[in-house]
A = this chain, B = another copy of it.
Amino acid sequence: MSPRVGLDQKMIVNVAAQLADTEGVESITLANIAKKLNVRPPSLFNHIQGLPSVKKELALLGMTILYEKLKVASNNKTKDEAIFALADAYVNFVKEHPGLYQFTIKAPETDEKELEKVSNQIITLLSDILTAYGLSNEDKIHGIRALRSILHGFSSLVQMGAFGLQISVKDSFQLMIEGYIESLKRLAQKNT
Contacts and interface: CB of A to CB of B under 8 A. Distances in A.
A138 B174 CA distance: 14
A182 interface: yes
A1 interface: no
A67 B149 CA distance: 21
A175 B140 CA distance: 11
A162 interface: yes
Contacts of A139: 175
A179 B146 contact: yes
B149 A154 contact: yes
A105 B152 CA distance: 13
A178 B183 CA distance: 8
Interface in A91-118: 105-107
A146 B172 contact: yes
A169 B169 CA distance: 29
A103 to B, nearest CB: 12
Contacts of A166: 141
Interface residues of A, number: 39
Contact of A160 (B107, B176, B182, B186): B107
Contacts of A153: 148-154, 156
Given A106-B160, A167-B142, A183 B179 contact: yes
Interface of A: 105-107, 138-139, 141-142, 145-146, 148-154, 156-157, 159-164, 166-167, 169, 171-172, 175-176, 178-180, 182-184, 186-187
Given A107-B162, A153-B156, 14 more contacts: A105-B156, A106-B160, A107-B161, A142-B171, A146-B172, A146-B176, A149-B149, A149-B176, A152-B153, A153-B154, A156-B156, A175-B187, A179-B184, A182-B183
